[in-house]
Structure 1
Amino acid sequence: MAGVSIAAQLSGLDAVVDTLNKLIANSQNLYPAHAQMGEYLLESHQSRFQLELSPDGEPWEPLAPETLARKEGEDRILQQSGTLRDTLSYEATPDELLFGSNLEYAATHQFGREEAGIVARPFIGLTSSPWDDTDEILAILRDHLAES
């Protein structure tokens, strides 16, 4: 019988199985990674508030003249009292990470409210400029999954 045959012998299979078992075990409880991601997101968003930047790196829309007049010289955007910035928080569980603010007006500022003349000033989200939140979050997850 004519043909070709290939014989292969696998070695080091125990190391592969051990690595896969470690990945499976570490993926069962992502709470430590989610908590670390939440802390990172708090810092990242606090920095963006200081810079008055949206997640895409664009400056927030300037305040309207009537808003500036009402704020009596305070020209910081979304930071009149600091409450919006200070209510950013996260909830980490083994299965998910929730991040945001519990203030009703947070959604108004994130998405805008046309009928009230309030423009959107997105402040929640992952950014790639001037730093890359996605890379950092993936690094946190990678480190968690690789832990012994």
Structure 2
Amino acid sequence: MITIKLGVEDTIRTALRRVLDATGDLTPVMREIGEALVESTRQRFRLGRAPDGTPWAPNSPVTVARFLARFAGARRKGGRGPTKRGQGLAAAKRPLIGESRALSTQIAWRADARSVEVGSPLVYAATQQFGAAQGAFGTTRRGAPIPWGTIPARPFLGLSREDAAPGPSPRGRGTSQPITS
């Protein structure tokens, strides 16, 4: 597991301290924060953007070609490019969104009296978040690099400006990683 501690603005820290002093337990607050951050992370998948608002790197031509190879009639004979159907499929292929949509749907939170963590249990989530160079994880038995190509970082976890802004925030804005009081 990778843990990244994010700083919280003084106004938020002060508000959390007041709630802690009054109740002795921030678990309900941390649960609400976790729910909001999960929804915010899911919103980022819909928009294809990092917490800082930058768009994710597009899929490489090799990724698109491998994707189209799964569909009958998506490529012209002799590999001379995609058909009209293939062009439509390629245009709809978004970064980090695979056929199962597992990464975008398996975002969860864990809260306790002083913190909340948001993340994904999927083994490849960290690679998508931080990126990886070709061969960073070794080679296959046949000597092929793992991963087979360089994967650019596409951060989906983190706090956006809206997430970190003090005051009420509508659900649907937020990201992940631990927040501690």
Instruction: Tell whether the structures are fold-level matches, with TM greater than 0.5.
Output: yes
Alignment of 1:6-21 (within 5 A): none
TM-score normalised to the size of structure 1? 0.71
Q: Within the alignment, does 1:122 sit opposite 2:155 as a pair? A: yes
Aligned equivalent of 1:134? 164
Runs of 4+ off more than 4 Å: 20-23
Per-residue deviation at 1:25? 2.3
Moved more, 50-59 or 87-96: 87-96
Identical pairs, percent: 39
Aligned residues: 115
Per-residue deviation at 1:139? 3.1
Q: Which has the higher contact order (CA 8 A, sep 6+)?
A: 2
Counterpart CA distance in 1 for 2:20 and 2:101 is 41
Aligned equivalent of 2:34? 38
Aligned equivalent of 2:22? 25
Structure 2 unaligned spans of 5+: 1-16, 69-88, 135-146, 169-181
* CA 1:96–1:21: 2 relative to 1, 3 Å: closer
TM-score normalised to the size of structure 2? 0.59
Give the alignment partner of residue 79 of structure 1, picking from 79, 97, 118: 97
Q: Within the alignment, does 1:68 sit opposite 2:101 as a pair? A: no
Compare CA radii of gyration and give the structure with the larger one: 1
Alignment of 1:79-98 (within 5 A): 79-80=97-98, 81-98=100-117
Structure 1 unaligned spans of 5+: 1-19, 141-148
- Per-residue CA shift, 1:41-80, capped at 9, x if unaligned? 1111111110000011000000000101112235111011
- Higher relative helix content: 1
| CA RMSD of superposed structures (Å) | 2.0
Counterpart CA distance in 2 for 1:33 and 1:127 is 19
